[in-house]
Structure 1
Amino acid sequence: MASKQKPRWQLPPGVTRGTMDYVESPAIADDYDEYFAFSDLFQFDEAVIAESIPPTGLVADLGCGTARALVPLVRRGNRGLAVDLSAEMLRVVAEKAQIDDLDITCVQANLVDLSAIETNSVDHAICLFSTLGMIHGAENRARFLEHTRRVLKPGGKFVVHVHNFWFNLFEPSGFSWVALHLFRAHILKWHERGDKYYEYRNVPNFFLHVFSRGELLKALRAAGFEIDRVLPLATNRQNRLRASWLLGGFRASGWIVVCSA
């Protein structure tokens, strides 16, 4: 793919080579909705969004993919701003908008640099499916959150989802993986705790950063957000984690956080 022909320094900030291969793939974009067609993973997300965001105003879907989360909001009355680095994903979004006459504007942009979006121009924003974790580097993730805070109007809601670092303890060989990962993060300055590389949908070295609860909330507050709700997710991500008071920081598969600008 084109991204493999580029040296690392030519990749966009916060984007690894594996992630670039993912976003440039027409096959992944064309197959995205069908790939998740029988999944229930998104229903809880959509319910939380519907509760948290009023059915009026402009909603920015940051890292929108094929806008699976944005389309229901637009159908109920919101206007949509679909933002993604992938021209292929945005092509699919534009096709959906044209076919169903949806009020969605597409913007191709790296989430680390949202300078194309005016300050205080967005009513609400969402960043789901652990898209925040696809940004490489804590400084780059901080820049994205600062941009998100900047483009939101005062009082605007921001709904974000991430995966839990400590939940890896419950995976096969999870304890060994976590122990080795913590050791590497301590020894190697370039290796952040929570950075994972793995094959995903035939893309080698796909990158994802997974968070602790404290890490996520600290980053959101540093960007100027006020935390409204923190929803720990059950293993299947289809509902809220039960008895979250019992080691919820380890047992949650991830979190959905609702916050205010």
Structure 2
Amino acid sequence: MASRPSQPSWQLPPGVTRGSLDYIESPAIADGYDEDLAFGSDFQFDEETIAQFIPASGLVADLGCGTARALIPLVRRGNRGLAVDLSPEMLRIVAEKACSEQLDIECLQANLVELDAIQDASIDHAICMFSTLGMIKGAPHRRQFLDHVHRMLKPGGRFVVHVHNFWFNYFEPNGAYWLASHLLKAWLTPGMERGDKYYRYRGIPNFFLHVFSRNEFAQALKQSGFKINRLVPLRMDRQGELPHAWLLGGWRASGWIALCEK
């Protein structure tokens, strides 16, 4: 089978890298997504945190939904769902799940940077999990997305979003060296931000992910008008809240779940 020709950089969707587009368009990744990520067990703490913060009624938008593993438990308990993703393959899986369980989920294919199709104040609550915010390249594009979320939410609407921690890389093998070299490279390389990472992920080369410091994450949310009720620091295995977060939590947390309101 002939390989798909590479899309010119200027034709890539805003905020989407070539590696991310290859990931988005892969049927194999969509089909194996839930199995590869151990659906259910690895998500228990996230699911509980979302369920405690998001009311059990109203329309919830899952932004960058993947196979909607964060959205489906909410719809099962009584919410209506809007699954938003740029990947038609992921949305295919979502539609199959919704049909199988007769769940009230509508699917919308859209780039998270370009959500104009969703009307102002039309969503009760929103979630953006599994560091999907970090898959958007460029602080201006991430700001566009967060501005859209704030615009779409009704007054008092709640928003749950997860990111990974930049400084947590220190605890990886050769972490101190990686941090030092990355900071130098980010300083010297035009267009590169501190926290921009490219690596091989699930067979996709040059997959992009931006990882955040605590202050960077909080500032991004506040700049788009969100009130942060709480930043939940996560343990290394993401199976619970980081204990003794007062002790170097900005380094020790693997990431954060932000509980926000409009």
Distance in 1 between residues matched to 2:181 and 2:56, nearest whole Å? 46
> 1:70-89 to 2 correspondence within 5 Å?
70-89=71-90
What residue is the counterpart of 2:199 in the other structure? 198
| 2:160 counterpart SS class | strand
RMSD: 1.0
| 1:43 counterpart SS class | helix
Shift of 1:40: 3.1
Distance in 2 between residues matched to 1:30 and 1:178, nearest whole Å? 35
Distance in 1 between residues matched to 2:55 and 2:203, nearest whole Å? 38
Distance in 1 between residues matched to 2:255 and 2:173, nearest whole Å? 18
| 1:123 counterpart SS class | strand
Distance in 1 between residues matched to 2:27 and 2:51, nearest whole Å? 30
What residue is the counterpart of 1:221 in the other structure? 222
Distance in 1 between residues matched to 2:248 and 2:38, nearest whole Å? 33
> Does the 8 Å contact 2:39/2:69 carry over to 1?
no
Runs of 4+, deviation exceeding 4 Å:
none
What residue is the counterpart of 1:50 in the other structure? 51
Distance in 2 between residues matched to 1:156 and 1:222, nearest whole Å? 17
- 5+ residue gaps, structure 2, are none
Shift of 1:41: 2.6
Deviates more, 1:33-42 or 1:107-116: 33-42
Distance in 2 between residues matched to 1:205 and 1:171, nearest whole Å? 19
Is the alpha carbon distance of 1:135 and 1:169 closer, same or farther for their aligned partners in structure 2, counting shifts above 3 Å?
Answer: same
Which amino acid is 1:33 matched to?
D
2:175 counterpart of 1:174: yes
Distance in 2 between residues matched to 1:77 and 1:102, nearest whole Å? 9
Task: Normalising by structure 2, report the TM-score.
Answer: 0.98
| 2:44 counterpart SS class | helix
Shift of 1:6: 1.1
Distance in 2 between residues matched to 1:19 and 1:166, nearest whole Å? 23
Which amino acid is 1:153 matched to?
K
Shift of 1:37: 2.8
Distance in 2 between residues matched to 1:52 and 1:106, nearest whole Å? 23
Aligned length: 260
1:60-80 deviation per Cα after TM superposition (whole angstroms, max 9, x unaligned): 000000000100000000000
2:33 counterpart of 1:29: no
Distance in 2 between residues matched to 1:64 and 1:115, nearest whole Å? 17
Task: Normalising by structure 1, report the TM-score.
Answer: 0.98
1:79-111 deviation per Cα after TM superposition (whole angstroms, max 9, x unaligned): 000000000000000011111100000000000
Distance in 2 between residues matched to 1:236 and 1:121, nearest whole Å? 35
- 5+ residue gaps, structure 1, are none
> 1:57-136 to 2 correspondence within 5 Å?
57-136=58-137
| 1:132 counterpart SS class | helix
Shift of 1:39: 6.4
| 1:162 counterpart SS class | strand
Identity %: 66
What residue is the counterpart of 1:254 in the other structure? 255
